[in-house]
Amino acid sequence: MRLMSRTTERARRVAERVTDPELPMLSLADLGVLRDVDVVGDSHVVVDITPTYSGCPAMAAMRDDLVHELTSAGFDRVEVRVSLHPAWTTDWITPAGRAALAAAGISPPGPAPSTSGPIPLSLLPTARQVRCPQCGSPATELVSEFGSTACKAQYRCTECLEPFDHVKEI
């Protein structure tokens, strides 16, 4: 087992502070995008991230924010590497991240569907068991598969009538 050096630990803490530009209540660590932080030599940090969606426009911002935060914390050289495999899944959002989403009024994702083997055709709207993050009622209905961002669907609570976003399982 390799012991984490204090410098690595510090770099990790800084990297973990960086938040998602679209979901600012979530750190990249809670989102599961931050895969690894390592320090090579004295102050060269290597960060591995896994993209959420292939064309997610937030990825460039996340990358720049990581470089900016780590550079500001005194690390001379910051290298952000892309780790494509395994592909990101909403299952990687941590329990703390899920709690933060719910606290912000966003319904966290359920378990992601399996994507091994051929993926069967689905002609019906995606059925999800979504609870209202405001009142906790299970009586909710889908308004639109796309909410404030493409990775969220919009729902409405038929109990308290509040609309809310739900992070889609992928």
Give whichever of 5 and 144 is closer to another protein, judged by the CB atom: 144
Q: What are φ and ψ of residue 8, in 5° steps?
A: -60, -40
Which chain residues interact with another protein by CB under 8 A?
46, 48, 51, 53-57, 59-61, 63-65, 67-68, 71-72, 74, 79-88, 115, 117-119, 121-125, 144-146, 150, 170
In whole angstroms, the minimum distance from the beta carbon of 83 to another protein comes to 7
In whole angstroms, the minimum distance from the beta carbon of 60 to another protein comes to 5
Give whichever of 13 and 68 is closer to another protein, judged by the CB atom: 68
DSSP SS3 for 68: helix
Q: Which residue has the tokens 């009622």?
A: 137
Can you point out the beta strands (E) in the chain? 34-40, 44-49, 77-82, 106-107, 140-144, 152-157, 163-167
DSSP SS3 for 106: strand
Give whichever of 1 and 62 is closer to another protein, judged by the CB atom: 62
Burial status of residue 34 (CB atoms within 10 A of its CB: 0-12, 13-18, 19 or more): buried
In whole angstroms, the minimum distance from the beta carbon of 64 to another protein comes to 4
In whole angstroms, the minimum distance from the beta carbon of 98 to another protein comes to 20
Give whichever of 71 and 160 is closer to another protein, judged by the CB atom: 71
In whole angstroms, the minimum distance from the beta carbon of 82 to another protein comes to 5
Give whichever of 115 and 137 is closer to another protein, judged by the CB atom: 115
Q: What is the 3-state secondary structure (H, E, C) of 118-147?
A: CCCCCCCCCCCCCCCCCCCCCCEEEEECCC
